Structure 1
């Protein structure tokens, strides 16, 4: 019996039992659509969380000053540890696994434009800060450059919401604002970005000036933070230990005293995110799998009924020379075709549901679901397993039926 004959026979059977056939195919269709939608939401949620976190920077670590809690080499406890710019350079020079380290000055300062005034965390930074923190400018403006640092220029880069509060609908680039009654020229505005965490203030409300200008204007060489990026995120913990050793030697504190320095290493968060979303997507996939499995059970039940209804046909085929594997193959083909029709409809409905939920109101937090090749492959693998499980027992039973008993029907 050829494949075309199998197909023709299947459609004849489906046509004879339309309601039964519809309900069977609907179970697979709904299970497939549910699986796809759940996995698509899981992928969208994961990507949105990663995107939100990227507002802080990629594989970034931020060092904060602390105070000692252990006595060391004659020094008592409670001694504050303060950074200078040379500390950032020391880390980069002595720790081979650090790709870049840069200092950051910071202070809450009032910025004004006429009668519009806003308090902003003003950062004194170097040009490399842009890449570490993903701080990019809107078209028409620019970021700080080396000449700004060298000449101690009074130029300022504004967060997008800060610029809107100070200038409303005007283009601020090229105009002046006052920082502590000192005029600064606006050179750029932050390109809008999603940021769900910060260590001082969201970047859209912050402003940035050259580090050299900040130091001269504030009359200090004490920096607030040091930012560094390890060459390999997998070495983040090892790099942290080296940071404590290097800074411990420089500032005379016990390297095991973790309160002497505060380090927020976002690499630890990335590890947590990977494990978290592996669990979330696995859980969503499991729910979808069980939903699809219910449809598979329905297919298996129907195939058992079909075997009972077609026992005489099976007996005739066996009596004229059909082997057991021919009978098994016939029912396997029919099972997979039923599942294939339901799956095709389910893929289409799942895709439509994914497209229909692209603009959900809480998209900024949970992301938008999307139909990725990964989702399609997982759904295909689950369907293959369900199809095999649903077809195996009915096909095996059909191939093991007694010929004489079948012909008596």
Structure 2
């Protein structure tokens, strides 16, 4: 039975070569549009997310601001500044915090090695900064650890680009860099990463030292900001509330005074980025879907032609006892099969295009986003379902028309 359906299908295609070829091309093009749009859309969404996480992975940055309202007899406009002790006290007082670090910062730091000189923004931080800011060391190096903090070591962690500026092709690990004239030992270089959000420049050009060494060198009494990360993103509301309650009680400002301690919430940013990425995929799928539906008109057209050309054959089948369901099934099968055949061709070409783009290794500029397309199993399954739907919709009316033909009139058809 199945073999007969296949042979009849290809016989119909052979009788309508031009029409069939154009229909298959239309279906293939529609499938190609859907798959490629979704692949590049997903790549763009993933790139946006990775770029945002490159600046902060589920981190909440708490800045010291100034009070925006009078409170408890105190005037508005009071500066709020934190100390290193606040970081540890917040971690103990607020449940759910897994990582935390003070953050000092200083512009215009002069770095020199072997005659190579550059300036950058330097930060003094703790060991947890590595995970929170995704500043992972490349092979052979390490990030700042607790011993560096306790012993006020003059050690330096470099961004990947500034390391090249200072050391060129040489291995920086163990090398000496003079930081405003003070010798520091390089302990690690950041593994290259994508970063779209940033403050004070990209991490690739950053110099990092232990916060205790920063304080001893420059005498800072207050930290620039506090970084915290919940153990679970779902704890974000409770953690933020706990931090606000603790700091408002200690520094005597209204808990609803958002100007007193501005926050940069990467968890909220991540939710928004994921929502944008999903919305983009839905939009691109809709565009491709309508392209496919237009191609379905061609399938319906060719099926009506097939019914017309096989009128006598249909009449003969009904005369010898073929039931309506058999006639409908035959034409529905052919309609679905032609949709899937064109779709398979479009999918194969799409895979080839995606693999070619991936082989180019576009890792700079826009290539970081557009150069990493991804064909997901969900997009293939959904597209296959759409192709079947098109086959059913395009074939059902010609199939019903064929099933309703009068056998006697069909046998007289010329």
TM over 0.5: yes
Gaps of 5+ in 1: none
Structure-2 separation of matches of 1:134 and 1:206: 13
> What is the aligned partner in structure 2 of residue 32 from structure 1?
31
Task: Say if 1:156 and 1:184, in contact at 8 Å, map to a contact too.
Answer: yes
Structure-2 separation of matches of 1:325 and 1:214: 82
Structure-2 separation of matches of 1:218 and 1:141: 26
> What is the aligned partner in structure 2 of residue 376 from structure 1?
380
Q: Mean alpha-carbon deviation: is it higher for 336-345 or for 167-176? A: 167-176
Q: Quick check: 1:15 aligned with 2:14?
A: yes
Task: Say if 1:43 and 1:369, in contact at 8 Å, map to a contact too.
Answer: yes
Structure-2 separation of matches of 1:42 and 1:391: 32
Q: Mean alpha-carbon deviation: is it higher for 349-358 or for 74-83? A: 349-358
* SS of structure 1 residue aligned to 2:262: strand
Q: Mean alpha-carbon deviation: is it higher for 365-374 or for 173-182? A: 365-374
Structure-2 separation of matches of 1:100 and 1:190: 20
**What does 1:9-408 align with in structure 2 at a 5 Å threshold?**
9-108=8-107, 109-358=109-358, 359=360, 362-408=366-412
Structure-2 separation of matches of 1:394 and 1:240: 63
Question: 1:11-47 CA distances to partner (integer Å, 9 max, x unpaired)?
Answer: 1221122111111111111111111111111111111
Structure-2 separation of matches of 1:404 and 1:185: 97
Q: CA deviation at 1:281?
A: 0.8
Task: Say if 1:48 and 1:367, in contact at 8 Å, map to a contact too.
Answer: no
Task: Say if 1:138 and 1:191, in contact at 8 Å, map to a contact too.
Answer: yes
Structure-2 separation of matches of 1:90 and 1:310: 84
TM-score with structure 1 setting the length: 0.95
* SS of structure 1 residue aligned to 2:123: strand
Structure-2 separation of matches of 1:221 and 1:237: 30
* SS of structure 1 residue aligned to 2:117: strand
Q: CA deviation at 1:114?
A: 4.8
TM-score with structure 2 setting the length: 0.94
Task: Say if 1:47 and 1:367, in contact at 8 Å, map to a contact too.
Answer: no
Task: Say if 1:248 and 1:254, in contact at 8 Å, map to a contact too.
Answer: yes
Q: CA deviation at 1:170?
A: 2.5
